[in-house]
């Protein structure tokens, strides 16, 4: 068995760090008391203090017992023994040696004072009950020397004591004990510093890892937040497209539909003003015209009329280039946002061509005091594609309705003409019958006149 293993008796992983340190110091103190205090006193007693040899032998036994008690987990009893037995035995030995009424021996007094610090070595301030109790008893033992001296009396040959050898040996033992304890404390302090340094390094490493984990967590949170924002924007766009699709499915006229769409888009994007132009195709692109179908501002419809030719202004430019125009610096007097408080220039304008099958069917222009984000612009682009597809069908349907209405009117006109012709034919037939009747009547009258003439002849 190694010495290091003995010094660790009584220490287990579940104990607090301070308690492990104090048990370790208690084992060292017990061994020092055994080999450097009790054993030397036992050897000295065999020569000049044989009547009290039992006391240093008891010191050896109790010192070894304290270490063994730690081995079996009785760490508090062990440390109480280590704290009280040395000073008790040294005080009793001093009381036996010194004649009643005389002051204590200098060497034994020094040894008692050295033993006074044992409770502070084996107990921590957090164990103040044990610490102060043992320290108080030790102080009482020192202060109560006269009382002990009066109790413990024995006949001794003090010839050897008078030479001062015992005093010198006691001083030496006290110095050795003190040095041993100091060295033990220094070694333990160095060990504690190494452990503390290890813990500090581990703490720094843990702090570094925590900082990295925190940074990673923040990055993950940013990614999660970005994903959440992206999902929120996608949901916002999908919901907006769904509502516009529902409007497109409604049974509205083209102008009413444009009014409802531009009003919805302005409100949904929390913008301030919007206009919608639809293409009136001509025989050539130069003959085509963008007609202003709807304008919406501050929850009010603005009734305006206007026509823009391809290439004219920003709207005409967007039509020609088939690209979104995003203005953050608005030209002077380009457009004003009006309200009950007056007029103001917007801070951002987007002009979005509504494209279907690579053909521009119209233009949406949105003005706002707030900057438009990319996802909002992308939303209006997709919205323009959906609207263009539906408007194409609506325009075809309206054109078909106009053709059907013209055909119906032409059919009604033809029916009216047929009815008029039928009535004319009937009147003509009636006139012909009347003429035939009158002709027959005239012929009969002529025949009658001819017969009368023949009779007269």
Of 22-31, 237-246, 305-314, the poorest mean pLDDT is in 305-314
- The secondary structure of 199-225 as a DSSP string is HHHHHHHHHHHHHHHHHHHHHHHHHHH
* Domains along the sequence of the chain with CATH: 3-208 (no CATH), 250-397 (3.30.450.40)
pTM above the 0.75 mark? no
Arithmetic mean of pLDDT, 27-37: 87
Task: Match 């006691």 to its residue by tokens.
Answer: 170
pLDDT of 83 reads 92
Would you place residue 75 in the very low, low, confident or very high pLDDT band (cuts 50, 70, 90)?
very high
Long-range contacts of 240-244 (CB under 8 A, 24+ apart): 240/265, 240/268, 240/379, 240/383, 241/379, 241/382, 241/383, 241/386, 243/268, 244/383, 244/386, 244/387
pLDDT of 133 reads 94
pLDDT of 341 reads 46
Inform me whether the pLDDT recorded for 307 exceeds 90.
no
Q: Phi/psi at 329 (nearest 5 deg)? A: -115, 105
CB-based contact 350:372 (threshold 8 Å): yes
pLDDT of 333 reads 66
pLDDT of 219 reads 87
Inform me whether the pLDDT recorded for 189 exceeds 70.
yes
pLDDT of 96 reads 81
pLDDT of 299 reads 45
């Amino acid at each position: 068995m190694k010495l290091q293993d003995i010094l660790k008796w009584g220490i287990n992983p579940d104990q607090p760090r301070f308690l492990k340190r104090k048990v370790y110091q208690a084992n060292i103190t017990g061994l020092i008391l055994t080999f450097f205090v009790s054993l030397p006193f036992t050897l000295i007693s065999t020569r000049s203090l044989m009547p009290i040899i039992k006391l240093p032998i008891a010191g050896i036994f109790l010192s070894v017992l304290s270490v063994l008690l730690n081995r079996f987990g009785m760490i508090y009893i062990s440390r109480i023994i280590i704290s009280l037995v040395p000073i008790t035995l040294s005080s009793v030995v001093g009381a036996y040696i010194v004649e009643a009424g005389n002051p204590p021996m200098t060497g034994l007094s020094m040894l008692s004072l050295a033993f006074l610090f044992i409770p502070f070595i084996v107990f921590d301030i957090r164990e103040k009950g044990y610490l102060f109790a043992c320290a108080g008893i030790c102080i009482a033992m020192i202060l109560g020397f006269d009382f002990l001296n009066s109790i413990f009396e024995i006949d001794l040959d003090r010839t050897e004591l008078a030479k001062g050898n015992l005093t010198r040996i006691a001083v030496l033992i006290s110095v050795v004990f003190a040095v041993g304890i100091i060295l033990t404390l220094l070694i333990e302090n160095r060990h504690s510093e190494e452990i503390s340094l290890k813990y500090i390094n581990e703490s720094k490493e843990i702090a570094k890892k925590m900082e990295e984990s925190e940074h990673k967590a923040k990055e993950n949170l940013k990614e999660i937040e970005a994903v959440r924002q992206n999902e929120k924007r996608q949901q916002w766009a999908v919901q907006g497209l769904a509502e516009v699709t529902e409007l497109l499915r409604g049974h509205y006229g083209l102008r009413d539909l444009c009014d409802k769409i531009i009003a919805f888009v302005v409100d949904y994007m929390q913008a301030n003003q919007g206009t919608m132009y639809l293409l009136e195709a001509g025989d050539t692109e130069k003959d085509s015209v963008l007609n202003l179908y709807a304008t919406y501002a501050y929850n009010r419809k603005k009734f305006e009329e206007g026509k823009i030719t391809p290439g004219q202004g920003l709207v005409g430019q967007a039509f020609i280039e088939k690209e979104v125009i995003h203005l953050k610096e608005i030209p002077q007097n380009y457009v004003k946002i009006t309200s009950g408080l007056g007029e103001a220039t917007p801070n951002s304008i987007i002009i979005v061509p509504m494209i279907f099958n690579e053909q521009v069917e119209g233009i949406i222009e949105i003005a706002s005091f707030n900057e438009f984000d990319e996802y909002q612009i992308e939303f209006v682009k997709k919205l323009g594609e959906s609207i263009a597809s539906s408007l194409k069908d609506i325009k075809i349907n309206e054109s078909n309705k106009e053709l059907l209405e013209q055909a119906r009117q032409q059919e009604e006109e033809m029916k009216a003409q047929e009815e008029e012709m039928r009535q004319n034919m009937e009147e003509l037939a009636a006139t012909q019958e009347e003429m035939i009747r009158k002709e027959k009547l005239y012929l009969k009258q002529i025949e009658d006149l001819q017969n009368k003439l023949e009779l007269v002849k």
